[in-house]
Homo-oligomer: A and B are copies of this chain.
Amino acid sequence: MTTTTTTTTTRGIATSAPRMLSVTAARAAASLTAEKYPSIKRDPRFATLTAEHVAYFKELLGTESAVIDGVSEGTGVTEADMEPFNEDWLHKYKGQCRLVLKPGSTEDVSGILRYCNEQKLAVVPQGGNTGLVGGSVPVFDEIVVNMSRMNRIHSFDEVSGTLVAEAGCILEVADKYLAERRHVFPLDLGAKGSCHIGGNVATNAGGLRLLRYGSLHGSVLGVEAVLPDGSVMNDLCELRKNNTGYDLKQLHIGAEGTIGIVTKVSVQCPQRSSAVNVAFFGLESFDKVQRAFREAKSQLSEILSAFELMDAQSQDLVHRVRGDRKRPLDGRHPFYCLVETSGSNGEHDYAKLEAFLEDVMANDVISDGVVAQDETQVRALWSWREGIPECLGHWGGTYKYDVSIPIAEMYDIVDDVAARLADAGLVGDSDGFPVVGVSGYGHMGDSNLHLNIAVRRYDEAVEKILEPYVYEWIAKRRGSISAEHGLGVAKKNYVRYSRDESSLRLMKQIKDLYDPNGIMNPYKYI
């Protein structure tokens, strides 16, 4: 077993640069989470932090750098020092935490939770803090348990493809480590330069490779987690098959840290494809997008690795923000798709992709298309998809909905929401209008749409138009109100739109079973 320490990339160099947002306006609009959700009150069961508590943690963790102490007198720790841990990167959610703990081992995490459980101290587990639903920041004064120090890669088996690593390992670091060994992490997403694999597992992140490699429920082989009472659940199986009792690790995948802290994961990693091709095309209608997707599935089959959808509005916004950068295709098309293939034989793959393009061109499924000729062009085409979230925030903020809807009706919600906002007179080109534009993009292959409303400022009038309308719209079509972002504090009150009474009751019972004192990531989820 080899142990490799991963170098932590700073947030600033996240490849999709979520930290480089123009945020002045958004920051001005940011409010403390609890103020934003007035129905949430601090739970009086929880103790308030004292210097004695902090002394215990300092003793436990041994090293000064593992504790950021805003509780004790005279530490010189300011509110600004706490901000990176208290606030999410969209500046939408902000807590009032005064103590950050950075455990260096599973034993540390165990000691922290055992004590917190005894002392009734509430806890928020925090990975790269790149979430979009306020799940990884406190609401009140919860202790932040930040996993960044637990960033070691433990082992990788080249025959089976099994990677074992600590939760705080950054996704991009893990993927680069695997790339050197001709393998790939079965998950890829915009925040890869900052997010932690433990956080990915805890939030069941979806991302760009799900179409090809499936969800983390399939590719995570094992999880080690510390439960709220400090006991360690060692379900860190490294085998692809293990039918010996309830698959306990599954409950932690997507639990958003409400029943324990994921400390290590073992992951089934596929071979890296030596050949990657990317095509980008314009289409006349969403109906044609569906036809193109069906044909891509059929003709590209085993080499299809991404089928991404972007509407004209989202591409217009990217173009506006980036200035005069040339667009991939001439003219304006109502829809754009990015198709990626990954395979082991570049010649075979290119032949399949060419035949596919000829076919959809000849049958008038697509209006125009281009294929990347080299790695630079591959990255350039991807940037028109991956750059959307960053550009959307340009004017101040974004209302983001991450939804899944049966594919035939998937895009209708964008038109419906745009019409409602326009009817209410909220959309326009000048400062008087809060809304800049409504757009839809996402993972067509997973029936996963990101509905985004770019705004100049967060505004109650806009919110009233959006909610609960969006959730009701989705519930009517048996969709999901959170396809891949999770619930956090943002959607906790809307779960019932996607889950039935019986499921909600079970969830509550499971939460109570694991965490009778309710200390784990309170005020969120359910």
A residues near B (Cβ < 8 Å) are: 157-161, 182, 203-204, 206, 210, 214-215, 217-219, 227, 231-235, 237-248, 250-251, 253-255, 259, 268, 271, 273, 290, 293-294, 297-303, 342-345, 348, 351-352, 404, 406-408, 443, 446-448, 478-487, 491, 495, 498-500, 502-504, 506-507, 509-510, 513, 525-526
Contacts and interface: CB of A to CB of B under 8 A. Distances in A.
A237 B182 CA distance: 35
Contact of A293 (B159, B447, B491): B159
Greatest chain B CB density within 10 A among A204, A206, A273, A345 is at: A345
Given A238-B478, A303-B302, A446-B241, A248 B215 contact: no
20 contacts: A160-B406, A203-B243, A204-B243, A206-B243, A210-B241, A214-B219, A217-B217, A231-B502, A233-B500, A235-B500, A237-B480, A240-B448, A244-B482, A245-B487, A246-B254, A246-B255, A250-B253, A273-B302, A344-B352, A345-B352
Given A214-B218, A215-B218, A242-B480, 11 more contacts: A204-B243, A217-B250, A218-B218, A234-B503, A241-B484, A243-B480, A243-B487, A245-B503, A273-B301, A302-B342, A510-B513
A158 B301 contact: no
A159 B348 contact: no
Nearest to A352: B345
Nearest to A242: B480
Contact of A247 (B238, B253, B348, B485): B253
A392 to B, nearest CB: 21
Greatest chain B CB density within 10 A among A232, A294, A297, A481 is at: A297
A483 B259 CA distance: 27
Contacts of A227: 502
Contacts of A235: 499-500, 503
A147 to B, nearest CB: 20
A502 to B, nearest CB: 5
A306 B206 CA distance: 27
A210 to B, nearest CB: 7
Greatest chain B CB density within 10 A among A240, A241, A342, A352 is at: A241
A138 to B, nearest CB: 21
A350 to B, nearest CB: 11
Contact of A219 (B218, B259, B404): B218
B495 A300 contact: no
A456 B363 CA distance: 65
Contacts of A240: 210, 215, 404, 446-448
Given A247-B254, A254-B243, A255-B246, A160 B447 contact: yes
Nearest to A244: B498
A343 B302 contact: yes
Nearest to A220: B217
B250 A247 contact: yes
B344 A299 contact: yes
Given A447-B240, A513-B509, A500 B247 contact: no
B502 A159 contact: no
